[in-house]
């Protein structure tokens, strides 16, 4: 039976847009107190406005997840403000327009790895002490179809980061299951979010309309979050029915 999130505290990174915003709204509407983080304040305020006029249910942290010290401090403030962290949605991520081998620079590679992989590690590491003391905690690592399967579309840096995130996720379950902590690697296929517009191939509105919506992925996050603590969904793959990878293979 799915459980209530009332009294739970969820930290959502990359909460200003896309999957992060949709997940924060879904978790809050199902009773969770939500801590929002992202690199810009204005989008976080917009997300908070969609959740509730009750400011006690929402807090905000302007945060670059690639800065380990800032992540640790943010986690401390969230615990100090709310008393606990029950759920981490490790969602912050980027990709580049110049992402393929003939164009990607070392600086671009480092930026993607620092945010998509290092940032996820810093956030997971920062919440583990609170979760261990509670003997309960859930970390949802938003990976990608490109983290489960090799993909030409996403470029080497993004693909490497998301494959690394899958290993990071598995290691949490291996080492922390004895502390009541579980991790789920969520692997969505193409999702129509602002990151799509950074792709080198510009897509039509008709193609975008076939993709997953952020709200679709948020429903999957909500499902995992509401499962009993004795249940661990190690990985979840979700894709559009009209999957462009499959369609290309048929033509």
Structure-token pair, residue 200: 């080198």
CA 73 to each of CA 14, 68, 69, 70, 186: distance values in angstroms, whole numbers, following the listed order: 17, 9, 6, 5, 26
| Cα 142 to chain centroid, rounded | 4
**Nearest-CA neighbor of 63 among 126, 9, 147, 132?**
126
Rounded Cα gap, residues 174 and 205, in angstroms: 42
Alpha-carbon span 49 to 64, nearest angstrom: 22
Q: Which of 122, 150, 158, 246 is catalytic?
A: 158
d(CA 201, CA 244): 14
Check if the beta carbon of residue 31 is closer than 8 Å to that of residue 57. Answer: no
d(C-alpha 202, C-alpha 206), whole Å:
12
Is 158 an annotated catalytic residue?
A: yes
Enumerate the active-site residues. 158
């Amino acid at each position: 039976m799915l459980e209530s999130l009332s009294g739970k505290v969820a930290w959502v990174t990359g909460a200003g847009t896309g999957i992060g915003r949709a997940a924060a709204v879904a978790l809050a509407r199902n009773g969770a107190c939500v801590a929002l983080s992202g690199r810009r304040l204005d989008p976080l305020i917009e997300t908070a406005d969609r959740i509730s006029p009750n400011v006690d249910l929402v807090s905000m942290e302007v945060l670059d997840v690639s800065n380990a010290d800032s992540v640790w401090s943010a986690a401390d403030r969230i615990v100090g403000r709310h008393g606990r962290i029950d759920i981490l949605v490790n969602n912050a991520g980027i990709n580049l327009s110049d992402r393929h081998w003939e164009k990607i620079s070392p600086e671009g590679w480092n930026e993607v790895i620092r945010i998509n992989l290092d940032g996820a590690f810093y956030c997971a590491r920062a919440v583990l002490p609170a979760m261990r003391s509670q003997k309960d905690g859930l970390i949802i690592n938003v990976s990608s179809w490109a983290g489960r399967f090799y993909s030409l579309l996403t470029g080497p840096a993004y693909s490497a980061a998301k494959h690394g995130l899958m290993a990071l996720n598995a290691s949490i379950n291996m080492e922390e299951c004895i502390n009541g902590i579980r991790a789920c690697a969520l692997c969505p296929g193409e999702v129509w979010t602002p990151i799509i517009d950074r792709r080198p191939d510009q897509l039509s509105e008709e193609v975008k309309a076939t993709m997953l919506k952020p709200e679709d992925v948020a429903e999957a996050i909500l499902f995992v979050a509401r499962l009993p603590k004795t249940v661990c969904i190690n990985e979840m793959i979700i894709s559009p029915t009209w999957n462009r990878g499959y369609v290309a293979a048929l033509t």
